[in-house]
């Protein structure tokens, strides 16, 4: 009887819909495993199509192309280790989220996901049928149970597989990043190990897809919850782990123990990876953005440089009569530190022309926010023209605080194809700028050191759309606003809860009103990387027309 099982784990970054390229990545991983003498090579959940597919899985032609690619993989990977990877499969008139194991030129086993997540960003009950709990399959000398992602967050699937003879658990995942998510995953997997007494392999996707960024951070646990292997977060890795049969059962040998970064670094890398993958997978290589001299656009420019390199980032100043001289100087200073191109387009000419065109219709009406928004929309139009002409994607620069309360101009500063800081509250924008100034990593394409001028971080925020304007003229101080928003948006605290926490009822009611009436703007906002469990879009879904208000 063989007492060794060698498993190659491929923590890789698929591109949704690029079936042939994903299949080729699977072949490369399989070849690496064969060279390492592996008995099996494993890839994550839904690797062959990419994840999340949403309604694409309902297309019969898409499913047919996946099956063609799967059968070709089985033929090409016949002479060597077994190969496991995830994909959707239609059987008997139902569609399942499956994990297929290929060996000897055939599809040897198919596991169907039993528990379908239907919370936060997941709608799997809408897309898939629930499969019966799959029994274990054999790979070399060992019998493996495979709870697919959510299946391992419940006790029943792993328990049933263990009772059916599984000697280890392989858990393929498509689990996107959110702050503190790793601790939650680890707690659930330790519970499965303790309950079954089996070693467990947690294998996650890596890479960005729309608003979600899969952070990898795969690991292997031995019975008792002892960590045998830890793969890095946000990196593609192919790593082999050996399991040995002992008197107590199979045990994983100690392997790579990558250190996981703190929340600040993981947030930052998620934003960089989300931006870089959104562009690359959409066919873009360059970006353009408006640089105001403020902290939000400074952080977005820095993220863009770290994701793409300075040569692929164009920044544009669009000053008006209300733009402070300091703002122009700060934008120039930032551009020089980052090494990016900085252009300037004055908006006074277009603004005068637009005001003249509108004057007959505005006759007798007092100036108000309309004239302020006109400046923002002129800037948005000019930046979109640059994007169209050059083929560079326009980045928008609104933070989560502004997006929450609608402190942004639709068709103006909200213009753009992607927003790297969409899930970052304003107070975290400041802190993230300070973190980036103090830290540099090899995966950052931008320069080390104090790349964001401290004056940009320290000065009072202003939209500069009228004389002596400050954000706090229209909003509570950001420290107070963000404290209210975090409780209201992230945790659904009521008005009375917030008043009990010490916030003024009038302030809370005003913030709640702004959040409610800004839903329509959020529906039209650019996507951005999800950092929290209540990001605007799939995590938090409210109607645009809604007359209910919390009067508790």
- DSSP-derived 3-state class of residue 210: coil
Residue 517: which residues within 8 A CB-CB, separation 6 or more? 406
Closest by Cα among 38, 41, 114, 31 to 83: 41
Q: If you ran DSSP here, which 8-state letter would residue 261 be given?
A: P
Structural element, H or E, at residue 187: helix 181-196
To which residue do tokens 């959020």 refer? 522
Structural element, H or E, at residue 89: strand 82-91
Q: Which of 45, 124, 150, 486 is labelled catalytic?
A: 45
Please indicate whether residue 149 is annotated as part of the active site: yes
The C-alpha atoms of residue 91 and residue 288 are separated, in whole angstroms, by 47
CA 79 from centre of chain: 37
Q: Which of 77, 113, 281, 433 is labelled catalytic?
A: 113
For residue 204, cis peptide bond before it (omega within 30 degrees of 0): no
CA 132 from centre of chain: 31
Q: Which of 77, 98, 124, 149 is labelled catalytic?
A: 149
Buried b / exposed e over 486-507, threshold 16 CB at 10 Å, is bbbbeeebebebbbeeebeeeb
Residue 354: which residues within 8 A CB-CB, separation 6 or more? 374, 378
- Listing DSSP states for 107-153 in one string gives EEEEEE--S---STT--HHHH-PPPPPP--EEETTEEEE---GGGGG
Residues labelled as active-site residues: 45, 113, 149
């Amino acid at each position: 009887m063989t007492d060794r099982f060698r498993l190659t784990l491929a923590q890789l970054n698929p591109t949704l819909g690029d079936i042939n390229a994903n299949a080729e990545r699977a072949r490369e991983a399989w070849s690496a495993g064969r060279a390492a003498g592996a008995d099996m090579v494993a890839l994550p959940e839904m690797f062959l199509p990419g994840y999340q597919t949403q309604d694409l899985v309902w297309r019969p032609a898409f499913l047919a192309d996946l099956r063609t690619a799967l059968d070709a993989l089985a033929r090409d990977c016949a002479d060597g280790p077994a190969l496991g990877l995830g994909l959707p499969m239609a059987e008997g008139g139902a569609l399942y989220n499956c994990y297929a194991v290929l060996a000897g030129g055939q599809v040897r086993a198919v596991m169907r996901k039993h528990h379908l997540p239907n919370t936060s960003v997941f709608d799997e009950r809408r897309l898939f049928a629930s499969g019966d709990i799959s029994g274990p399959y054999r790979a070399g000398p060992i019998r493996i149970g495979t709870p697919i992602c959510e299946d391992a967050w419940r006790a029943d699937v792993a328990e049933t597989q263990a009772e059916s003879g599984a000697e280890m658990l392989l858990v393929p995942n498509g689990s996107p990043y959110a702050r503190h998510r790793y601790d939650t995953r680890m707690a659930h997997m330790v519970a499965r190990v303790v309950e079954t007494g089996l070693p467990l392999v947690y294998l996650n996707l890596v890479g960005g897809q729309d608003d979600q960024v899969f952070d990898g951070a795969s690991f292997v646990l031995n019975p008792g919850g002892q960590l045998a292997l830890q793969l890095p977060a946000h990196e593609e890795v192919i790593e082999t782990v050996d399991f040995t049969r002992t008197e107590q059962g199979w045990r994983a040998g100690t392997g790579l123990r990558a250190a996981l970064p703190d929340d600040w670094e993981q947030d930052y890398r998620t934003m960089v990876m989300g931006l870089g993958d959104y562009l690359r997978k959409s066919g873009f290589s360059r970006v353009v953005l408006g640089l105001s001299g403020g902290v939000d656009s400074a952080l977005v420019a820095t993220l863009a440089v770290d994701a793409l390199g300075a040569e692929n980032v164009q920044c544009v100043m669009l000053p008006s009569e209300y733009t402070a001289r300091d703002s122009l100087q700060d934008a120039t200073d930032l551009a020089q530190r980052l090494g990016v191109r900085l252009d300037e387009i004055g908006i006074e000419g277009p603004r005068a022309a637009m005001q003249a065109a509108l004057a007959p219709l505005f006759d007798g009406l007092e100036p108000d926010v309309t004239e302020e928004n006109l400046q923002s929309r002129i800037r948005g139009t000019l930046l979109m023209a640059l994007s169209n002409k050059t083929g560079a994607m326009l980045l928008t620069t609104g933070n989560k605080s502004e997006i929450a309360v609608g402190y942004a101009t639709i068709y103006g500063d909200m213009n753009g194809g992607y927003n790297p800081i969409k899930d970052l509250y304003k107070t975290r924008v400041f802190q993230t700028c300070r973190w980036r100034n103090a830290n540099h990593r090899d995966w950052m394409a931008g320069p080390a050191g104090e790349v964001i001028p401290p004056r940009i971080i320290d000065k009072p925020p202003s939209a500069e759309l009228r004389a002596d304007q400050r954000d706090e003229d229209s909003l509570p101080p950001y420290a107070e606003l963000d404290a209210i928003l975090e409780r209201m948006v992230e945790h659904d605290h009521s008005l009375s809860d917030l008043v009990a926490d010490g916030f003024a009822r009038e302030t809370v009611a005003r913030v709640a009103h702004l959040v409610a009436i800004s839903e329509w703007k959020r529906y039209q906002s650019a996507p951005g990387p999800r950092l929290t469990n209540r990001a605007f879009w799939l995590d938090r879904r409210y109607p645009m027309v809604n007359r209910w208000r919390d009067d508790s």
